[in-house]
Chain A
Amino acid sequence: DAGVIQSPRHEVTEMGQEVTLRCKPISGHDYLFWYRQTMMRGLELLIYFNNNVPIDDSGMPEDRFSAKMPNASFSTLKIQPSEPRDSAVYFCASSPDRAFSGYTFGSGTRLTVV
């Protein structure tokens, strides 16, 4: 299995632009998670899906952030409009079960908003 695949690896954008991050979970994993990691705040859970349905989005910082999972093999995290404080590494992770025993992270997207 190729693991959790994220794209792009790096994204540099100007403030005010729309940014879309993409994730392909491991096949058969019913849970998908989006995290944001910064030096100041560590690894923060933004939102997670179970069987393509958003379960908990309490970590989404504000309305500028939205996430979708149109099918079992694809999810997006969109930021519109982007701001410099959104600069971080965004990770996607997937798990086969609610015990999270096989929790696997993607390689991450390093987002820089200038």
Chain B
Amino acid sequence: QKEVEQNSGPLSVPEGAIASLNCTYSDRVSQSFFWYRQYSGKSPELIMSIYSNGDKEDGRFTAQLNKASQYVSLLIRDSQPSDSATYLCAVTSFSGGYNKLIFGAGTRLAVHP
């Protein structure tokens, strides 16, 4: 079983719509959750972090966390063509006495004009 699972997509949404990206994780004791955006040919860049249950908003982005369901999501409001990228969910995993960051395979988002 993969530790962090995401739908690979592509998720296609029209410009101006809300894009909803989902992620589930297997480690019940995970404490920190991140969303990274990766443009084609570029490195991942951090766009959101969330540590407690509920919603966290930053501009057009909202991260949602439900630890009981082991589920984290990212909403992008007023989607723009420039948001077209692969979105990676990352979750901390504690094993062997150390924390490490585990990434999902990513969801490709395509925003069309």
Contacts and interface: CB of A to CB of B under 8 A. Distances in A.
A108 B103 contact: no
Contact of A91 (B31, B43, B99): B43
Interface residues of A, number: 20
Given A42-B104, A107-B43, A56 B96 contact: yes
B102 interface: yes
B32 A99 contact: yes
Contact of A45 (B34, B45, B100): B100
Contacts of A42: 103-106
A106 interface: yes
A25 to B, nearest CB: 14
A45 B96 CA distance: 15
A103 B34 contact: yes
A43 B46 contact: no
Interface string A83-114: 00000000100000011110111111000000
Nearest to B51: A99
B92 A100 contact: yes
B30 to A, nearest CB: 12
Interface of A: 33, 35, 42-43, 45, 48, 50, 55-56, 91, 98-101, 103-108
Given A45-B100, A55-B98, A105-B43, 17 more contacts: A35-B103, A42-B103, A43-B105, A45-B103, A56-B96, A56-B100, A91-B43, A91-B44, A98-B99, A99-B31, A100-B32, A100-B34, A101-B49, A103-B101, A104-B46, A105-B44, A107-B42
Interface of B: 31-32, 34, 42-46, 49, 88, 90, 92, 96, 98-106
